[in-house]
Structure 1
Amino acid sequence: MALPHDSNETSYLLPPNNEDWDRQAIPDFVYGQKDLMAEGIQWPRNAPGVLEALPQSPFDAALCSAWKQRVELGLFRYRLRELQTQILPGAVGFVAQLNVERGVQRRRPQTIKSVRQAFDPEQFNFNKIQPGEVLFRLHREPDLPGTLLQEDILVVINVSPLEWGHVLLVPEPARGLPQRLLPGALRAGIEAVLLSLHPGFRVGFNSLGGLASVNHLHLHGYYLAHRLPVEQAPSEPLDPGGHLHLLRGLPAPGFLFYTRGPGLDLESLICRVCRATDYLTDHEIAHNLFVTRGAPPGKTSPSSALTGVRVILWARKSCFGIKDGEAFNVALCELAGHLPVKTSQDFSSLTEAAAVALIQDCRLPPSQAEENLREWSRVPVGPANQRKTMLRKRNLRNVLKRKLPSPLTLHSRLS
């Protein structure tokens, strides 16, 4: 059972008097290997869209109780109510939600001109937030691999929430790290997914140029009580070791990494993903990343079990600033199939074809996507694997050059 430091009980709630918030120490949420639940987490068949219908882990209880209190205290820019939600008709299974307040009241994004832009302490950053916005600090016990690389990860409310429980995972904010993915931050994000008993708790990362609005290292985490297409979309292997796959059957093909849970396999995945994001950042290529429980790579079906964690990485065209005229902006959750829509008119008129067009407009040209893969996934190739590798590269070229399949073809791939 996850516990706070030096206590059998803790409260992640703020004291009633806001004058005491500055003096209250940030509580630690301490967890170990036994708290990371890799198996047995599935969507209920009867009520997949009801958040309260699922059991809570200690992590869920801590996050949800503290987040709810901050709602009651008025620390958000708006009070998030139940969002109008629809599954867009079609083969993809987009989950569209109307969130007018976020579109109007969220903080304007910072001026970003480069994927590698340095941290600027004069701009808004997470050292400037109110004390009450911090829920707790994630603290890993020494029984977990990689503990020597542990960072202090603050769990902070997103004051302009997408959905219930929307938080930011902020590693060591005092260090002033720019928005560039680091292994410790990714590890915390994956472990947060494993700490939750809810299959709809997801984590993601937007690079600069990939619609990150603040240039201070952070990941997003939030609950969405709906299945998403990335959980079970089929994939094709792209390297001889089977460590990298191409997620297909979606408007924007993504690179899929998969782990069954904590241990050396997870540490290897973190190294591979950060190697890829380092390459993209160094070459000024924007990207988005999404972490969710999901089925193993390969051929899947809607009934496939969520036996591990999928990490999906999209390299994309850079976009600096928000496009105000679009129904939604394409970032980590939109690429995964969750579409927060800004206006009632767009929500009522949005179709799968229109959503697909917006998402595909952010894709890299196939030749550039292939070059990225070739560079970051270099592996020694012996004679026995040479032909297999050539076939997989040819397969990648063919997949990346395809136009979006028809809805009928998409349906057959996802079913």
Structure 2
Amino acid sequence: MVSKEVKASHELVFKYSNSDFVYNTSSDHGQDMMSAFDSLLLEKWKAADDASLFNYKVDDVETKLLAGKYKFVVQMNANRKIMKRKSQNILNVVQPFEPECFNFTKIKTEEILTNLHYEQNSPKTVDTVGKGTAVLEGSVVINNAPICSNHSLLVPFLDQCQPQVLNEKGLMIALHTILLSTTPDIRIGFNSLTGYASVNHFHFHLYYLSHKLNIETAECRRLAGPCYVFKDFPCPAFVFQLENKDVDELIRSVMKVIKLFLSKEIAHNLYITRGTSLDGNSTDGEYDTVRVILWARKPSYGIKDISVFATAVCELAGHVPIYSCDHWNNLSEEDIIPTIKGVCEEEFEDMSPKIMRLFLDNNDVE
């Protein structure tokens, strides 16, 4: 277990409140637009890299934008396939936490980059940083087999040993983390069990990618209520956005769908990114919302098998790490689309009318 003394260390705690949130950013990627949170995280990640805490280096990962309609961002990372920790044997969307298996209580102290503490005195009053009681806690730890530079893991309430099942507080911590950043490069992803999660301990992937993804600005149409769908993207998904700075309402909407997925044992992936408003009224050069993209997908049972690329959350979002050197030079958009489309298309068609009724009827899933 990570000791309470270590987690309480002043050097490892980043305290924040609503007053630290940034709701609008530039849409330009790769610029030096760092908040205090961004700077701290990138500094800590580099220190971990300098200390050789990772299984391999990713500072020279080759990156290219594939020609085509969707401009997939692909990166050559053969090391991840052969040097990543062996995945756990996942058989169901919900499985009990197993303390004897690898989990994040077993990591070394130096693998913790920082701990996030959200503080408020009451549910309706957020106090200044440094006062009040922490009501949300999340640990940012290294991923020792990173996809790209700065790839980390966000673990809500690490020492509570929760299984890899999305819940309200965890989603809130993830959204808060996005809002602490001033750069559109920051991304957060979640793989459910049987949705390519490899560790059954509640966590998100957190990383910075200095390239635009199509999903940041892709046009959407309203399905029902706050739920939209892409008009044209190869991986059909359910899309939500932050409106009127109301994080709680966004969480309620997303969690309605998550609870429906869980009740029907539907594997899923979730991606959070800055982007343009779903109604198409954004100002040029500005990202004025946070998009939450949710895919229902075919399950992937057992231990993951990766050949050319995986079909996890990053890949569905259009950021595709490639694990086969033999396929790298001649890779095309047409090589990727059938695979990622096939993972989601049937489940999307099946779940769409159910989700439409969910919001039209304004019912919660118990």
TM-score by length of structure 2 reads: 0.89
2:264 maps to 1:283: yes
Report the CA distance between 1:136 and its aligned residue. Answer: 1.2
Q: 1:316 aligns with which of 291, 297, 314?
A: 297
Whole-angstrom CA distance in 2 between matches of 1:152 and 1:317: 32
Q: Deviations over 1:97-118 (max 9, x none)?
A: 1111112111111000000111
CA distance in 2, matches of 1:144, 1:35: 18
Which residue of 221, 225, 229 corresponds with 2:206? 221
Distance in 1 (CA, whole Å) between partners of 2:64 and 2:261 is 34
The question of whether the paired residues in 2 share the 8 Å contact of 1:21 and 1:132 is answered with: no
Question: What number of residue pairs does the alignment pair up?
Answer: 350
Q: Distance in 1 between matches of 2:122 and 2:22?
A: 13
Match of 2:238 among 255, 274, 292: 255
Question: Residue 403 of structure 1 corresponds to which residue in structure 2?
Answer: none
Of 74, 78, 83, 2:52 maps to: 74
Bigger share in strand: 2
- Return the offset for 1:260: 4.1
1:36 aligns with 2:21: yes
Contact 2:114 2:141 in 1 (8 A): yes
User: In the alignment, does 2:8 pair up with 1:27?
Assistant: no
Q: Is the 8 A contact 2:161 2:201 kept in 1?
A: yes
Q: Partner residue of 1:176?
A: 161
* Residue 266 (str. 1) matches residue 247 (str. 2): yes
CA distance in 1, matches of 2:122, 2:71: 37
The reply to whether residue 234 of structure 1 matches residue 200 of structure 2 is no
Query: Does the 8 A contact of 1:33 with 1:143 survive in 2?
Result: no
Q: Counterpart of 1:394?
A: none
Aligned-partner Cα distance in 1 for 2:281–2:298: 29
Amino acid at match of 1:130: K
Question: Would the aligned equivalents of 2:243 and 2:250 in 1 still touch at CA under 8 Å?
Answer: no
1:370 shift after superposition: 2.5
**Structure 1: tracts of 5 or more residues without a match:** 1-19, 382-415
**Distance in structure 2 (CA, Å) of the matches to 1:34 and 1:350:** 45
Q: Which residue of 1 aligns with 2:93?
A: 115
Alignment partner of 1:93 is 2:71? yes
Provide the secondary structure at the position in 1 that maps to 2:210. coil
Stretches of structure 2 that go unaligned for 5 or more consecutive residues are 127-132
Does residue 360 (structure 1) correspond to residue 341 (structure 2)? The answer is: yes
CA contact (8 A) 1:115 1:285 kept: yes
Give the aligned CA root-mean-square deviation in angstroms.
Answer: 2.5
Does residue 362 of structure 2 align to residue 377 of structure 1? no
Residues 243-301 of structure 1: per-residue CA shift (max 9 Å, x gap):
11112311011111101464xx2101101111211221221100000000001113479
CA distance in 1, matches of 2:251, 2:331: 36
CA 1:154–1:312 in structure 2 vs 1: closer, same or farther (change >3 Å)? same
Equivalent AA in structure 2 for residue 250 of structure 1: F
> Distance in 2 between the 1:301 and 1:328 partners?
34
Alignment check: 8 A CA contact 1:260 1:307 kept: no
Q: Who is 1:163 aligned against? A: 148
CA distance in structure 1 between the aligned counterparts of 2:309 and 2:281, rounded to whole angstroms: 29
Residues 96 and 347 in structure 1, CA contact (< 8 A), matched pair in contact too: no
Change (3 A) 1:111 1:375: farther
Distance 1:307 1:144 in 2: 28
Structure 1 position 198, deviation (Å): 1.4
Establish whether residue 210 from structure 1 lines up as the match of residue 188 from structure 2.
no
1:65 maps to: 43
Q: Distance in 1 between matches of 2:276 and 2:6?
A: 42
Q: 1:143 to 1:346 in 2, by over 3 A?
A: farther
C-alpha offsets along residues 287-335 of structure 1, whole Å, 9 cap, x if unaligned? 000000001113479956311100010001101232333x211111111
Specify the code of the residue in structure 2 equivalent to 1:369: M
What SS does the aligned partner of 2:273 have?
strand
CA distance in 2 between counterparts of 1:312 and 1:140 reads: 24
Which runs of structure 1 show a deviation greater than 4 angstroms over 4 or more consecutive aligned residues?
20-26, 143-149, 299-304
The CA distance in 1 between the partners of 2:195 and 2:362, in whole Å, is 32
Query: What whole-Å deviation, never above 9, does each CA across 1:192-233 have from its counterpart, x for those lacking one?
Result: 111111111011111001100000000111000000011000
Q: Deviations over 1:167-208 (max 9, x none)?
A: 111112222211011111111111111111111101111100
Closer/same/farther in 2, CA of residues 329 and 302 from structure 1, 3 Å limit: farther
Q: Is the 8 A contact 2:282 2:288 kept in 1?
A: no
**CA contact 2:239–2:293 (8 Å) conserved in 1:** yes
- Structure 1 residues 368, 107: CA separation in 2 closer, same or farther (over 3 Å shift)? same
Aligned to 1:139: 117
TM-score, normalization by structure 1: 0.79
2:107 to 129, 138, 152: 129
CA distance in 2, matches of 1:256, 1:144: 31
Match of 2:172 among 187, 191, 197: 187
Determine the C-alpha separation between the residues in 2 that align with 1:283 and 1:143.
38
Q: State the identity %.
A: 34
Q: Residues 254 and 22 from structure 1, CA distance in 2 versus in 1: closer, same or farther, beyond 3 angstroms? A: closer
CA 1:347–1:372: 2 relative to 1, 3 Å: farther
Q: Distance in 2 between the 1:37 and 1:370 partners?
A: 32
Aligned counterpart, 1:152: 137
Q: Check the 8 A contact 2:137/2:173 in 1, yes or no.
A: no
Does residue 330 of the first structure (1) align with residue 311 of the second (2)?
Answer: yes
